Structure 1
Amino acid sequence: MKIIKIFLLFVIILTSCKKNDGVINFTFLQLNDVYEIAPIQGGAFGGMARVETVHKDLLKENKNTMLFMAGDFLNPSLIGTLKVGGERVKGKQMVEVMNAMNFDLVAFGNHEFDVSKDDLQKRLNESNFPWISANVKLKTKDTVSSFYKERKGQQQPVNKTFVKEFTDADGTKIKIGFISVCIPSTPKDHVEYGSMFAEAKASYADLKDRVDLVFGLTHVKLANDKKIAKLLPNLPLIMGGHEHENSINFVGNVQISKADANAKTVFVHRISYDKKTKKTLVTSELKEINIAIKEDEKVAAIVTKWQDVLNTKLKDIIKNPAEVVYTANVPLDGRDAAIRSRQTNLGSVITKAMSFGFNNNVDAALVNGGSIRIDDQLSDAITAVDIFRVLPYGGAVLKVDITGRLLKRVLQYGKLAKGTGAYLQRYNATVVDKAWYIKGKSLNEAKTYTVAFSDYLLKGFDIPFLSDKSAGVLKIYKPSEKELSADIRKVVIAYLKLETKKRAN
């Protein structure tokens, strides 16, 4: 009996002293470009509470799991436009949800700089997760320094790089580093953008001798990610954002991955590293976040709290915010890059609806691309809430009598404003070889036209020579509160309902 006990003890000691094999496995869960905390498309896809269930399952599978956001989450969102306690939300709901999910690392995206300097500082201070960026800096009149979190009067700078250490069950240890850069597409007085490529290269040089592996967490165009991959061929993986459709690309041995926006999908990267051979194996799974995934209760409670606030506000404007008003068999493109540079099908829907709001008794309709804030595509079931997400600031549609001479200047300015919020989405206004046509006929500068404008365009912000006081603006009809055109969102919803009825017949 004594011999058996000694033998068992010997086995236990041997088992507990399992030799370090030099191989370690870890997992990355990647999200990018998430603006909505709740499920989208009638509840079919997305939802941060569902993502958290996936996150917890991965942690059970492997404790060495990290959760990432590759930029763009504070803005735009419909909730972010609301006032709660006298203050605009401006991404507060997203930070609260992400704190509950215990994000491990986030990158700045260009939309983080849509919010004001003060609001961004509040969100940084509220966040419990680390941020990273090598090329965005806080600029004042006198200095350029790192963005920071303020805690108990102390400033904690956002670092250029981030290092994480993993240990597995047999004692294998590894240090991994992360670099990050952001596309300089949102110019602000308080932001200085350094070179994406020079800063990525410098960050890698700083990390490479201090860690076993370096990964990228970026928010730049795919073409820029590919340039970074060429500069840094030893990166096993770049987790990227900015584009809104899932993709995997390779430049040499560097994998570049981007998930779908609004957590329609996430990437699960299972990574194995052999310390002896220095070889890295990345196995990536694109996972759809859908109704089959149960919601995490803790995160769902936070989401519900914010959705209740949203629904309460929306019901003051529209009776049934969750109503499906249209089914888009072809996605309606409201992405910033598209809506601010070319005529899109979503732009056509909005401007046709503006004309519909006046019983099509106008010659044309115009809306500035910057009023369309969803930065995403709408597909399948589209709800009234989705239309509010597209046009969160609302505003009236105005019927304006305008001289052909001024209208031509407006159209030309909107065309030349390609890439900015002043670019015009149009209905019944086309250009061929620099010649403008209204309803298929050459624009006559001596004629008076009746045009449906979004009210923002008559404020002189996007187009400086166009306002309600412009000499070429002859008459403005502003609808009363009871009229459909008093709110551009109501007009679009009513128009889509009509199109749905036409389909049914």
Structure 2
Amino acid sequence: MMRMKFLALAVAGALSQAAFACTPGTYTENVLFGSTDTRVPNRVLDASCATVDSQIKDEDAWGNQAAFIAHVSTVTMSLQKSGRISALERARLLTAARASQIGTTLKVKLIAFNDFHGYIKPFEGSSSNPGVTRFSTRIKELKAQNPLHAVVSAGDMIGASPLTSALFKDEPTIEAMNRIGIDFNAVGNHEFDEGKDELLRMQHGGNHPTDAYSGLGMNEDLEGGEFAGAKFRFLAANVHDSATGTTVFPGYGVKDFLGNKVAFIGMTLEGTPTIVSPSGVAGLQFGDEADTVNALIPQLKAQGIESVVVLIHEGGAASGGINGCTGVSGPIVNIVNRLDPEVDLVISGHTHQAYNCLINNAAGLPVRVTSGGQYARNLTDIDLTIDTRSRDVIAVAANNLTTGTATAEDAALTDLVAHYDNLSAEPKARVIGKITAAISRSQNAAGESALGDVIADAQLDATHDVGTGEAVAAFMNPGGIRADLPFNAPDGNVTYGDAFTVQPFGNSLVTMTLNGAQIKTLLETQFAGCNGQSSQRILQVSVGFNYAYTAANACNERVTSMTINGVAVDPAASYRVTVNSFLADGGDGFAVLKDGSERLGGAVDTDAFETYLQANPSGVAPGPRDRITRN
């Protein structure tokens, strides 16, 4: 019985092999080059199942048609010499190669993101933060779709980061991006938070001269035992050194795809000096974005470069989901409207909004403009089709994709994140106080948030006593509040990591004297289009200070009442007010604060917040959001 079963299996195996054996000379169809029929039978050449078509790589990417034809010529000559095809068949294959147009176009994939802000650890700072490990997985998936690719960032890769990156001077983020394989990062405003020299260190490497948390990376990420710097190129076409007139970083980078060069022009918004501490942009000049791009176009064309992508850290907003473009608005619209039509694609950022738009350029022709949102939540998958004869982009397809917290983590980065998470565990977990409920930075219709109230109160509390400033009011910029303050069950403990994620800039408090008229000017500057303000920024105010405004009024006539502890603010009287050092230097466009007199420096903002929490051991409640009234 066993012998019969063995014989049956043996016969079945022999039949199976015979069914799949290749018979030289057999064929079922002609060789096709794309959709072009060569009229040459796609014969089986030998017992290895090789066919005429399988010898010719017509599905590969070719940098030009001549390269493909040369390939076909070489392969078919070999086949003809070995007697596998005839001279006539070779001629037909060469004729079809020319007719197929293979090599006349080339598809290149760009993988774009913006406003990463050091969000390397999953769920830190936000429950929707997928972390750099999942982000890397998605990038790898897109890279695998096309070996001809580039990974690019439109700025704010670092700065305003959660503690796992920020504690280590954002070196973890640079090291993670090195492992992923980034090509270019256009500098954003937050790249300048700690000044030009620190940004140059991010590019070139070396440990921070005074910070003990610098240079603590894993051995594989260090060079000579020190921080290695970015292995990708920072770009800053519109940022010049005031003393030398030269750009701080190259204005553009070029990547060659099989002989087809694509230029990436990178820059930040011209208004960077108004939203970064003056010390961060000292000695630097920031030029107009569109003018900068347009001036570079002749230089690129002189090098034979016709494919141009702009990476710009400036943006807008639109509705319709992450790929929507309904009602697109913001500075990016005017910038694109003035761009030279040689620009083929604009990858934008800064506003933390995701959109996928067509916006007219200077010639009135639509150009694709994308933004991926923020914090690695999305990636923009872009396909460029290049005409290899003209070297120009002839088609752009783009799609914003969600990274997702369910995406598998890339094992190539989990050790890096775990390394820094372990190093930061002790300072991050230190309990600094309690809250009674989660405190949100979401603003009501007037622009006031519960967390804004609490932070302003903490700053007033730190500076109202004799010797600390004698402040009667404190003002906090909403952009400096980077996350909600979560309620950690069961007791509402607040950790240093929580507080740092909310206020990651390390600004110090400054108390100054302003008269009532200056305080009104301060508040009138909150509104877009007024006193040089580019967008609405409603300042958060401390307990005891109340004001009302009418949004429909003209600029400088919107604030209709101001009181301190119930008493109307006198335009001629002097008042001691507290702001952070960023605002004190005129940050966010509040230039009137630079005129404040009798300045007194105070605690770092996170230290003031910790002291406030400890002064309320039963727990700090969310702010009431009743200090600002919008009519």
TM-score by length of 1: 0.72
Distance 1:287 1:409, change over 3 A: same
Q: Matches of 1:112 and 1:204 in 2, distance apart?
A: 26
Residue 165 of structure 1, CA deviation: 1.9
2:454 to 350, 367, 377: 350
Distance 1:185 1:303, change over 3 A: farther
Deviations 1:458-502 (A, max 9, x none): 999956325569xxxxxx9xxxx9x98614699799435799xxx
Distance 1:195 1:423, change over 3 A: same
Distance 1:144 1:351, change over 3 A: same
Distance 1:406 1:65, change over 3 A: closer
Q: Equivalent residues in 2 for 1:130-279 (5 A)?
A: 130-140=233-243, 143-147=244-248, 158-167=249-258, 174-187=260-273, 188-208=281-301, 210-222=304-316, 223-230=330-337, 231-252=339-360, 253-275=366-388
Alignment partner of 1:56 is 2:140 = yes
Aligned partner of 2:215 in structure 1 is none
Q: Matches of 1:270 and 1:39 in 2, distance apart?
A: 29
Alignment partner of 1:25 is 2:104 = no
Residue 23 of structure 1, CA deviation: 2.7
Alignment partner of 1:426 is 2:549 = no
Distance 1:355 1:73, change over 3 A: closer
Q: Matches of 1:348 and 1:316 in 2, distance apart?
A: 23
Distance 1:459 1:347, change over 3 A: same
What is the total number of aligned residue pairs between the two structures? 447
Deviations 1:374-397 (A, max 9, x none): 5x5659999864542222367999
Aligned partner of 1:107 in structure 2 is 186
Aligned partner of 1:77 in structure 2 is 161
Deviations 1:169-214 (A, max 9, x none): xxxx532222223213333223222332221002122224613421
SS at match of 1:263: coil
Q: Matches of 2:161 and 2:307 in 1, distance apart?
A: 36
**Matched-pair contact (CA < 8 Å) for 1:39–1:45:** yes
User: What percentage of residue pairs aligned between the two structures are identical?
Assistant: 18
Aligned partner of 1:37 in structure 2 is 120
Distance 1:295 1:224, change over 3 A: same
**Alpha-carbon RMSD:** 4.8
Q: Matches of 1:458 and 1:27 in 2, distance apart?
A: 42
Larger Rg computed on CA atoms: 2
**Matched-pair contact (CA < 8 Å) for 1:397–1:486:** no
Deviations 1:409-453 (A, max 9, x none): 673464366559x9852144214545422366534799999x995
1:373 to 480, 484, 489: 480
Q: Equivalent residues in 2 for 1:389-400 (5 A)?
A: 389-392=501-504
Distance 1:490 1:39, change over 3 A: farther
Higher relative contact order (CA 8 A, sep 6+): 1
1:116 to 186, 190, 195: 195
Q: Matches of 1:127 and 1:497 in 2, distance apart?
A: 41
Deviations 1:80-136 (A, max 9, x none): 8966xxxxx433222112111110111011221221232112111011001222211
Letter in 2 for 1:185: G
Tell which deviates more after alignment, 225-234 or 489-498: 489-498
**Uncovered stretches (5+) of structure 1, i.e. residues with no partner:** 84-88, 148-157, 168-172, 335-341, 470-475, 500-505
**Matched-pair contact (CA < 8 Å) for 1:29–1:269:** yes
Q: Matches of 1:459 and 1:225 in 2, distance apart?
A: 28
Aligned partner of 1:170 in structure 2 is none
**Matched-pair contact (CA < 8 Å) for 1:237–1:254:** yes
Deviations 1:1-39 (A, max 9, x none): 886775756444445756434232222111111212223
Q: Matches of 1:202 and 1:447 in 2, distance apart?
A: 51
**Uncovered stretches (5+) of structure 2, i.e. residues with no partner:** 1-22, 27-43, 59-70, 73-96, 205-228, 274-280, 317-329, 361-365, 463-469, 489-493, 527-532, 550-558, 587-592, 625-631
Q: Matches of 2:411 and 2:254 in 1, distance apart?
A: 31
Distance 1:120 1:259, change over 3 A: same
SS at match of 2:179: helix
**Matched-pair contact (CA < 8 Å) for 1:163–1:176:** yes
Letter in 1 for 2:379: V
Tell which deviates more after alignment, 269-278 or 21-30: 269-278
Q: Matches of 1:14 and 1:33 in 2, distance apart?
A: 44
Letter in 2 for 1:495: V
Deviations 1:208-246 (A, max 9, x none): 461342111111244443334333234332001111111
TM-score by length of 2: 0.59
Tell which deviates more after alignment, 217-226 or 52-61: 217-226
Letter in 1 for 2:546: A
**Matched-pair contact (CA < 8 Å) for 1:66–1:104:** yes
Distance 1:63 1:459, change over 3 A: closer
**Matched-pair contact (CA < 8 Å) for 2:306–2:342:** no
Letter in 2 for 1:121: L
2:412 to 284, 298, 305: 298
SS at match of 1:205: helix
